[in-house]
Amino acid sequence: MTTFAIRQYGDPVLRQVTKVIEEIDGRVAKLAEDMIETMYEAPGVGLAANQVGVQRRMFVYDVGDGPMVIVNPTIVESTGEWTYQEGCLSVPGLSWPIVRPGSVHLTGYDLDGNELSIEADEFVGRVFQHELDHLDGILLVERLDEDQRREAKAILRARALEPLTGDPDGLHTLGEDL
Ligand SMILES: [Zn+2]
């Protein structure tokens, strides 16, 4: 198994909209396997293909029930509202309370090409929305309110000038990295 370097905030690959996977073959399965390994190593609970530099519509996640892979996901319906302290493996060490729909209905395919239809709320619903955003080239920073965003940009700008040093665990916050 191989692990990938996770692309970080500022990498243009994170701003690009990913392409539909036309054929679910062995290469896609291998990519999913390596993405799962990368997610566990990080550690995080979700990872989108473009976070490892692959411009395809697929994400992996594990919310405690084992690894799952969703190919060509779509959110067909979202309702309600839920606030969660959300972090991202591509923006490490930072998290913000972000309001998004509380429940979503996601469709897609598994690695055998079977159609999936999953209703998810709260945390799992949040993972789905976060990963879908990645596949559409959107980072969580863009989901912040005006004040949060101003603060985030200042931190990220300072960080770009002075790369992280020391113990990264010291920066870990309450939210899960997705
Ligand atoms: Zn993320």
Check if 81 is active-site: no
Mean pLDDT for the stretch of residues 48-68? 97
**C-alpha to C-alpha distance for 95 and 144, rounded to whole angstroms:** 10
> Does the structure show a pLDDT above 70 at 37?
yes
CB 51 within 8 A of CB 7: yes
> Does the structure show a pLDDT above 90 at 84?
yes
Question: Which residue of the set 131, 142, 151, 162 is catalytic?
Answer: 131
94-103, 112-121, 157-166: least confident range: 157-166
Where in the sequence is the domain holding 67, given as residue range(s)? 12-177
**C-alpha to C-alpha distance for 86 and 127, rounded to whole angstroms:** 9
Residue-wise pLDDT tens digits, 111-154: 999 999 999 999 999 999 999 999 999 999 999 999 999 999 99
* Torsion-angle region of 153 (φ positive above 0: left; ψ -120 to 50: alpha; else: beta): alpha
Prediction pTM value:
0.91
Residue 135 CA to ligand 1 centre (angstroms): 10
Residue 129 CA to ligand 1 centre (angstroms): 10
Residue 162: which CATH number?
Answer: 3.90.45.10
Residue 139 CA to ligand 1 centre (angstroms): 7
Number of domains within the chain:
1
Any domain includes 1: no
Residue 82 CA to ligand 1 centre (angstroms): 18
